[in-house]
A and B are shown apart, each in its own frame.
Chain A
Amino acid sequence: MTPPRPGQVIAPDQAPPDSAAGSTHEDDLRIVGTPFRRVDGWAKVTGQTRFADDMTFPRMIHMRLVRSTLPHAFIQSIDTSKAEEMAGVVGVLTGKDMPEPFGILPVSQDEHALCLEKVRFVGDPVVAVAALTEDQAADACSAVKIEYEPLTTISSVDEALETHEPLIHDYGDEGNLHKKISLQFGAVEDGFAEADEILEDVMFYEGSTHLPMEQHAAVAVPEGGGRITLYTSTQTPHYVHKVLAQVLGMPASRVRVIACSVGGGFGGKSDIFNHEIAVAKMALVTGRPVKICLNREEVFYCHRGRHPVLMHLRTGFTKDGAMVAQHLKTALDGGAYGSYGVASTYYTGALQTVTYGLPRYRFDSIRAFTNKPPCGPKRGHATVQPRFALEVHLDKAAQRLGIDPADLRLNNLLPPDSITANYLKVGSIGLGACIQAVVDGSGWRERFQSLPHGRGLGLACGSYLTGAGLPIHWNHLPQSAVQLKLDRTGTVAAYCGEAEIGQGSDSVLAACVAEVLGIGLDDVLLCVGDTGLTPVDLGSYSSRVTLMVGRAAIQAAERARDRLAEAVAEKLDVPADRLVFAESRVFDSGSPENGMPFAEAVQQAEEKFGALATTGSYAPPRAPGRYRGSGVGPSPTYSYSACVIEVEVDPETGLYRVEHVWIAHDIGRAINPVLTIGQVEGSVYMGLGEAMMEEQVFRRLPKSRSSALVHKVPSMLEYKSPTFHEMPPVTTYLIEDPDPEGPFGAKEVGQGPLLPVIPALANAIFDAVGVRIDQVPIGPHMIRKALEDKEAGGDGRYGPKSFPDIDFGVPLMVPTPDEGGDGRATNTEEAGVRKGSGTMTDGVRKGSKP
């Protein structure tokens, strides 16, 4: 094969298939909608991409951390004297060197770079040691002596509810509960009274972790002028920048964070980690570049992964399957720190309303602190667990009501341009087309409930944000910005704070700029993820990058195009609006030979206006919700997915195999279809991992003998992630109906397609062998147990029995739009909620500035 140049179109002779042809051709797009080589592809296949651990600097030393071996204890003493004397040791730090607390959310400033007085889980970092070599640093770590006074171990939500002393943190909504929420939208009980059928379920979703192939790494480099630069494996350089300045007590202008290429994120590198701060401090103390690369076990301790969530779901249905009211209760096991947890807690309820009509809705939730690594955002951030519950619940409802599960969903789709009961403004909805595609593709109508015993089909749907509507730090600033510098050579340099984590954000940025300016992808030079050189983009989380960076890039490029057009129009003496930018030329649409190369157009404009640079930025539209908690859930637009899974189950053993996955995703428009499909397939993979085997679980040693609570299997071997052998064939349908809010109509694809996969598997297992597995991951022993239960005359179900009895108090009452509500709560005082900014971030720390 003649290797295409970076960014060169792969298959120029392959016209897009008919289904995509309309959207691609009608707008005369040349790059968008065409499969092209990702712009970072060349570097990634040659070994030239530099991940954080690949960085080296003169005089660089190596750091390692001493971590707590107790789950919950006061630190009595730390003796580093022996370590300090060991060969090669250059620096030693303890918590006292960085006493300023931090946290990703302004309301949860509960972490320290190194533990100060207390350790809260096995793996909590206490001491940092830097030495000439990593071997020496590790040896010196072994010589550090820490004495602890153990405290009661809190290992579960139940134990957190029961344990009033000690408290893992001295803040939170109640006891060891970090967060407690009760929201009610509309007259929910009236809704239940109207219901023909009421269905109730208790379900459990086990925690799982991101398991990026790349272990977190960071290199801190002290620079002249009182500056420091941190190269790190992060999805969110902007937030690392803020926190670094905060904890180091330095002006943010002296701190520069550069996001290296990230070797897998999935949400796991979107927080600020202890080692990032400690390594920077170590560089400042020793005056030398310092590197830290975590080992795999430490990556499990960083975690911030999927919360284990217990769910209670009660829904009233009409006999034709419409939901009339729903009450969802969730209990999250948060682990030892806040992290994104407050947002996670709200997210377990926020998106229940965006797929199907739901006129009245109540949501209660708690997040408990436990002595385990902190949970946080993983692909689909805390909407995955309730989506599992809802879609299995709907499958049961369809069964009970005698309606085909596909019809139950199709008949009750939320109409486009709706405002939901919880005040989410939903624009385009491609869910119906998604369901139709997977139903047709899988032969659902003929095969569902008709396959031999042991084989089954399951259907489920999902939806996800295309970017969180609100920034983490509440402000009115743009959430993404792009600067373009146009060069006389015709090169356009694009500067943006976005972080490429493998999802293809660099390619989206380059494609949007190149498309508007009519130049090639290789004419765009990128400078990204550098808080010193690039304008702020909030980072690669909440599926925000394609939409927000794309919109900012388009605006910047359009402004550049306007400037060029003005200069070229003058030169060619044609009206500016007749000029076309294409094929790296600017020309008169009326007589295409009348034009000039793009580089010459830049020179014309530079002559006329001076040096050329333009900017673009994007801020999402304001959401209609005005109640406390309404900040979680809004998005410029939502993506939709539907999935059918075919499974083969061996009833004798409970072993099963996923035979095929059909998935359709409402992408709006695929900027680069081949990368879009990669995101869909990757989401299916990660969803199957969670559905089938992945679990971040812990061992509580017998209480009579030990207080130990340890990660059961912090290794790549025993934390089971699917190999090539477990990945079934996947048929992917891209549903392209451009969304007015998206760049060229694009919506997100990185997270949404994961959501329907998990419930689709549970539903397929039911179709195969007639038992309900109401928890994930679904182990073969659960299927066997459920089958045995069924054989013994039981209901053939495996899952949690009950939800704890929790007093959620008076819910915050928010009348729905249908009830004439205006998005505000009516009982803010009674519900014990301060009148605040109306967002989850109303507890903004003093002095926390954007």
Chain B
Amino acid sequence: MMRLPVFRLHQPESLSDAMALLASSDGETRLVAGGTDLWPNMKRRHQSADVVVSLNRVAELSGIRGEVGGEVRIGATTTLAAVAASPIVRAAYPALARAVESISSPAIRNMATLGGNLCLDTRCTYYNQTEEWRTSIDFCLKEGGTICWVAPQSPRCWAVSSSDAAPVLCALGARVRLLSPAGEREVSVADFYRDDGIDYLTKQPDEVLTEVVLPPSDGVQMSFWKLRRRGSIDFAVLTAAVAVRRDDDGVVSEAAVWLGAVASAPVRSEAAEAVLVGNALTPEVITEAATATRKVATPLDNTDFTLQWRSKMVVHYVEAALREVAGLERERLAPNHAM
């Protein structure tokens, strides 16, 4: 049986206690909520901790506040199941509900949290392996080694940002609140990430992600499409999140087009957005915008499916997401594979 290494566990009941423990603990200290990312990583020994501080008893970190039409705040340890089931989220941010509902399996969604999904360690088939397996390849740049086997010439790590919530929240212009002994700050979800497989978050080690803040969604149309092998359990190998605002004539006034699982951070396609803004969502405009996303995605050979094919799918999935927003007929197969 795969077992966890020995560590010390703290279960604070308030955020201030958690902060104090985080500041005072000796050795490597990690926060845990759902544990569905950290525990497997620790079992495989590619993440380690001397001290683990569990946030599960910190009641103030859980829950959804706000109402449809206004700003909505989701506590970091709110489970994915609770987010997906929330009538507010389903009504105001259907793409977020869809994204969260598509994550892994029902039991995982009962455990995993929204904050945890945003902080999800980047993934790579050279990295998410046991210590013995990684010994066989002499480890990799992300953990213990000197070469990124995905791109051996590359000085950086190419592990993949695999959060499904992240690209949607980026497209919706959401922000996260970060608390540290020094105080509190808010950053956009987009700025929460860095395109580096190792140092993938801009969050500081002493900061705790406490809340996700969603702006009012009035008039925003959104969609989320996801590619993966199986309809459950699997991580995405490609996601497309789009949000548009259209004026009364159907002309796009604002657009956000984001891709997930194709780089070490969510990727924005400003070129696609530029095609959309100022135009109506005709099939032609949509195809042009989707085609414009091709350049920003750089899938590599470290997930399921061949990278050339994944690369080609980017356009199809963005197109499908935009067509859904436009109320156009969708391509026939992808819906089943998307969700």
Contact = CB atoms under 8 A, between A and B. Distances in A.
A379 interface: no
A2 to B, nearest CB: 31
A48 interface: no
Interface string B327-338: 000011110110
A655 B313 CA distance: 10
A46 interface: no
Interface residues of B, number: 39
Contacts of A656: 333
Interface stretch (A9-17, A255-263, A776-784, A800-808): A776-784
B316 A653 contact: yes
Contacts of A706: 137-138
B306 A723 contact: no
A297 interface: yes
B147 A705 contact: yes
A821 interface: no
B147 A454 contact: no
Contacts of A715: 128-129
Contact of B331 (A138, A650, A657): A650
Contacts of B332: 454, 648, 650
A718 B125 contact: yes
Interface stretch (B20-28, B224-232, B246-254): B224-232
B144 to A, nearest CB: 13
A293 B2 CA distance: 10
A807 to B, nearest CB: 35
B135 A69 contact: yes
Contacts of A722: 230
Interface in B282-339: 304-306, 308-309, 312-313, 316, 331-334, 336-337
Interface string B145-158: 00101001000000
A711 B133 CA distance: 8
B334 A725 contact: no
Contact of B230 (A654, A710, A726): A726
A831 B116 CA distance: 66
B136 A122 contact: yes
A781 B316 contact: no
B132 interface: yes
Interface in A164-217: none
B132 A784 contact: no
B158 to A, nearest CB: 15
Interface in B212-243: 229-235
A554 B91 CA distance: 65
Contacts of B8: none
Nearest to A454: B332
Contacts of B2: 295-296
Contact of A134 (B1, B138, B235): B1
Contacts of B130: 295, 297
Contact of B133 (A142, A652, A714): A714
B334 A653 contact: yes
A142 B135 CA distance: 11
A135 interface: yes
B195 to A, nearest CB: 24
A653 B333 contact: yes
Given A655-B334, A726-B231, A701 B137 contact: yes
Given A293-B1, A708-B137, A784-B312, 6 more contacts: A135-B6, A655-B334, A713-B125, A714-B129, A714-B133, A780-B305
Interface of B: 1-3, 6, 125, 128-133, 135-138, 147, 149, 152, 229-235, 304-306, 308-309, 312-313, 316, 331-334, 336-337
**Nearest 7 A-B pairs (CB), nearest first?**
A725-B231, A650-B333, A781-B309, A69-B136, A69-B135, A723-B232, A122-B136
24 contacts: A135-B3, A295-B130, A296-B2, A650-B332, A650-B333, A650-B334, A652-B316, A652-B331, A653-B316, A653-B334, A655-B333, A705-B152, A708-B136, A708-B137, A710-B136, A715-B128, A717-B128, A720-B229, A723-B231, A725-B230, A726-B230, A779-B306, A781-B306, A784-B312
